Each structure stands twice: as structure tokens, then as C-alpha cells.
Amino acid sequence: MHSDFSQLNLRAELVQAVTDEGYTEPTPIQSAVIPALLAGQDVIGQAQTGTGKTAAFALPLLQTIEPGLGPVQALILAPTRELAMQVSQAIFTYGKHLGVRVLAVYGGQPYARQISRLQKGVDVVVGTPGRLLDLIQRKSLDLSHVRVLVLDEA
């Protein structure tokens, strides 16, 4: 087990963001999953609520992408709008020193705002399956540059 986040080979900006949030050492799931994801392995993780699962996939995701590059590089599917919003906020918080552009897409919100944001450029999209499918069918969401796919609570 790693005693602090700096031992996980994460960008200094990510370690700083985690430290800013008051976290000093990775949880067991983070210590197990982060190195595997950074090594390019596929991972299926399961742990209790509150054990840091979101950070376990968010930090390697943010390590992998190049914020500001242009097209969507990471896609996270979430089953509910509440989880999509929560994960989106976590990605934004952990990526704040990288200038990551994250967008949550889910039903019940106007398409126009979400499409406008996509057209301006987004690094990470977090969304519910229904809205993601709608945006793909409308040809408003291009997934051809996606490097990372996460199924949260699959």
C-alpha cells in the first residue's frame, strides 16, 4: 500500500488537488487501482461507499488525457443524473490545476446548452446513457478521440 499520493506517479497538479481536498494518503482501492490504470490495464473495481472509488478512476483518467486538446478524450457513463453531476464535480475538482474541461450531460436539461459546450471543446464527458445516446444520434458528440471509458456503478 502507498503511504501518500506522490508515490503513485501522478502529475504534481493532481497530487496538489488531492492535497487541497484534505486527503493525505490513498485508500486501499486507490492504492490497488491507480497503478493498474496508469499501466493501461482494464480494471473492474468494487468497494463500499465512501472508500474513494471516484478518485480511483478519476486521477488516472486525468493523468492520461491532455486537457485543452480539443475533442472529448474521456467518457464516463453514470446511471443517474445525480451521480453524473457528482462525478463531473469530482473530475473538475481533481483536474482544477490542469484546466480540465468537463461536462455533465443528462436528461431534463436543454440540449442547446450541452451541444454548445461540446462545440466549444470538452475534455471529459460524464453522462447518463439516454442523453449520451441522443447526443451521439444527433451527431453532437464525437467519440472518435476517446482514450478512456469508465462505467460507473455498472
Q: 68 near 84, Cβ under 8 Å?
A: no
Cα distances (angstroms) measured from residue 100 to each of 24, 43, 103, 125: 22, 23, 10, 11
Identify the residue whose cell numbers are 440540449. Answer: 111
Q: What CATH number did the domain enclosing 63 receive?
A: 3.40.50.300
Check if the beta carbon of residue 67 is closer than 8 Å to that of residue 98: yes
Q: Is the pLDDT of residue 2 over 70?
A: no
- Cβ atoms of 130 and 152 within 8 Å: the answer is no
6 CB-contact burial (10 Å; exposed 0-12 / middle 13-18 / buried 19+)? middle
| Residue 70: domain span | 5-151
The number of distinct structural domains making up the chain is: 1
The pLDDT score that the predictor gives to residue 138 is 96
For the segment 39-93, what is each residue's pLDDT rounded down to a tens digit? 999 999 998 888 999 999 999 999 999 999 889 999 999 999 999 999 999 999 9
Total-model pTM:
0.94
pLDDT, tens digit, 9 for 90 and up, residues 95-148:
999 999 999 999 999 999 999 999 999 999 999 999 999 999 999 999 999 999
The reported pLDDT for the residue numbered 4 is: 85
